[in-house]
Structure 1
Amino acid sequence: MDHSSENAADQIPTSFPRAPRLDPEAMARAVSVQTGIALTVEGLCDGGEVGAAVVRRPDGHRGVLTWRPHYTVAALASGPLAVVERLRALGYPAPATKLAVQVGDAVVTVQELVPGAKIDRLDLPLLERVLAVHGLQADALAGREDVPAYPLYLREDGPGYCLHEPLRRFSRSTAELERRIAAFGAGHPDRLPGDGAVHGDFHPGNILAADGRITGVVDWDGAARGDHRFDLVVLRFGLHPDHADRAVVERLDALIDALPASVAGPAWAHMSLRMVDWAIRHFPADQVDTWVELARRRID
């Protein structure tokens, strides 16, 4: 990346709010008060930016407690849970949701604890298994127009992510990137068309494996209807900067090259906005450039 016009003097001092993180003990207590089910927190799950925790019920069954602020049980049921229910009927390794409780303006869920560990580094054989699982998402929601389509937020802020203002204010390069994203969004729908199941955060940290096979795909809180190939672009960003063998990156780039512009363009613009915004607000400042560099490769 050319830094000739991007130096410390170009950085505009800013203070942006970070995404709130899960307080598992507080959420477990809230669930107990509302349901009478006492949950013992065993510890936080490995990975993730906002947090999930392993909990144990009185009967000894273990699950994963997650939390989504500014959300409702009704919205969860009509969107993400409907997506997962359909995929599970097709044999997709997505965890069942055992409990969903409204806690203030947030939803707390307890999901099935599936076996396996998150993928720290993706190789070609494992990528092919990931792609085989991903293929089950194609047209999975045909006839389910009641399930909301995936929002892109190319012209307006998302709910705690895909924020435009951090890009506008952080630096010259991020401001220029935001202008290009907004201009692109002006000519495209606000939501992703299609009848596939879109995970929305389909990266190695949310894909579990054991003994060379995929055992689960977790974190469906943002799932919606749309073109399932959107998740290939999500996966490509999830491999950056160093979470896969070079051959894996090349294979995935070739798949994205073959996508229709109507899918690849909005997906790349969305992920560029999402990851650069997230890097500005959550990563060290010197890491922002690496995400801007990736975004620039296809933003046009």
Structure 2
Amino acid sequence: MSAAVHETPPDGEDAAGSGPPPPTRRPEPAPRTQDVRTAVAQAPADLDLGGGWDTTARLVGGRWVVRRPRRPGVVAQLRRETRLMPWLAPRLPLPVPVPEVVPGEPFAVRHPLVPGEPLTHPAHGRELGLFLRALHDCPTDEPLRLGVPRGRPADDLARFAADVVPLLPANLHEPAHALLAAGRRLTGDVLVHGDLGPEHVLAADGRLTGVIDFGDAHLGDPAIDLAWALHGTPPAFADALAAAYGVTDDQRERALVAHRLGPWHEVAFGLDHDDPAIVREGLDGVVARLRPATGP
């Protein structure tokens, strides 16, 4: 649900093979669905955690999560996380990964395991609201110096109009263009997670235990992070989050726009990587989120 981003590595950073990163705020297709605590107890030395579209993840020695890029262009993204997260982690009220580069080849980063399981039954809206408030209140000068990119929502919207709208049923073209016009409101400039969803918010023993996967962090509209949190969760969770965060009516409306735009990024990713299954799944989401405004 965020803009495409453009990374400019700090002076001296090796950006070879990085290229422009893919659009941010994409749902991960392979969340950690196992009970990691049970699995670690049964096989403490080594465990495949799956990963997502950009990286693989493996638990090593029962403690370290080792992540490797699926494509050369992801290396720059992982290096950026190793610069950003040591600065960011002390400013947040929940644990987050703080990765470091693993010496040697092939390239990998590692961080201590953040405990918990992906959020499946949200019950902690206040905790997440306070987390997002702290994240969005962070100063932005240092993230920019560390290589965190600015979002480019105008580029995303132009891409969606050119490549996604033609794939939709003709009767949805008008509401699709109306949604893209509303997307021009997503112009904020705060530090955002960029891919916040239930697979990246961890919980255990009745409390939130951490937020993971900051690979899509960038400067953008806070509505990007509020999208799922306000419009993809039960009302009680969303209300508690909104109260803790201090959500305004305008932010809530922009978050709905961002929520409805989320699957468009999935379609674009599938087109970029020649994956018809991802394109179809994304189009199903685009249609489903357009139809509440248009009827059956």
TM tier relative to shorter chain: 0.5 to 0.7
Superposed displacement of residue 121, structure 1: 1.6
Match of 2:60 in 1: 56
Match of 1:34 in 2: none
Match of 1:248 in 2: 237
Number of matched residues? 243
Match of 1:42 in 2: 47
Residue 98 to residue 248, structure 1, CA distance change in 2 (3 Å): same
Q: Determine the C-alpha separation between the residues in 2 that align with 1:102 and 1:72.
A: 17
Decide whether the 8 Å contact of 2:118 with 2:202 is kept in 1: yes
Tell me if 1:65 matches 2:64.
no
Superposed displacement of residue 211, structure 1: 1.4
Residue 261 to residue 250, structure 1, CA distance change in 2 (3 Å): closer
Q: Provide the aligned C-alpha RMSD in A.
A: 4.4
Superposed displacement of residue 118, structure 1: 0.9
Residue 213 to residue 64, structure 1, CA distance change in 2 (3 Å): farther
Decide whether the 8 Å contact of 2:66 with 2:108 is kept in 1: no
Match of 1:208 in 2: 202
Q: Give TM-score scaled by structure 1 length.
A: 0.61
- Aligned residue identity for 1:96: V
Question: Which residue, out of 177, 188, 191, partners 1:193?
Answer: 188
Q: Determine the C-alpha separation between the residues in 2 that align with 1:218 and 1:85.
A: 14
Q: Determine the C-alpha separation between the residues in 2 that align with 1:250 and 1:282.
A: 35
Gaps of at least 5 residues in structure 2 are 1-26, 31-44
Residue 289 to residue 81, structure 1, CA distance change in 2 (3 Å): same
Q: Residue by residue, what CA displacement relative to the aligned partner does 1:188-247 show, whole Å, maximum 9, x if unpaired?
A: 68xx432x321111111111111122211111111112344430114346x3xxxx4343
Fraction of identical pairs, as percent: 21
Per mean C-alpha deviation after superposition, the further-off stretch among 111-120 and 258-267 is 258-267
Residue 143 to residue 257, structure 1, CA distance change in 2 (3 Å): closer
Decide whether the 8 Å contact of 1:99 with 1:111 is kept in 2: no
SS of residue matched to 2:178: helix
Superposed displacement of residue 136, structure 1: 1.5
Match of 1:294 in 2: 289
Decide whether the 8 Å contact of 1:256 with 1:264 is kept in 2: no
Match of 2:217 in 1: 223
Q: Residue by residue, what CA displacement relative to the aligned partner does 1:77-131 show, whole Å, maximum 9, x if unpaired?
A: 44x4444233212144111112268989xx74333211111111213xx122221
Decide whether the 8 Å contact of 1:276 with 1:292 is kept in 2: no
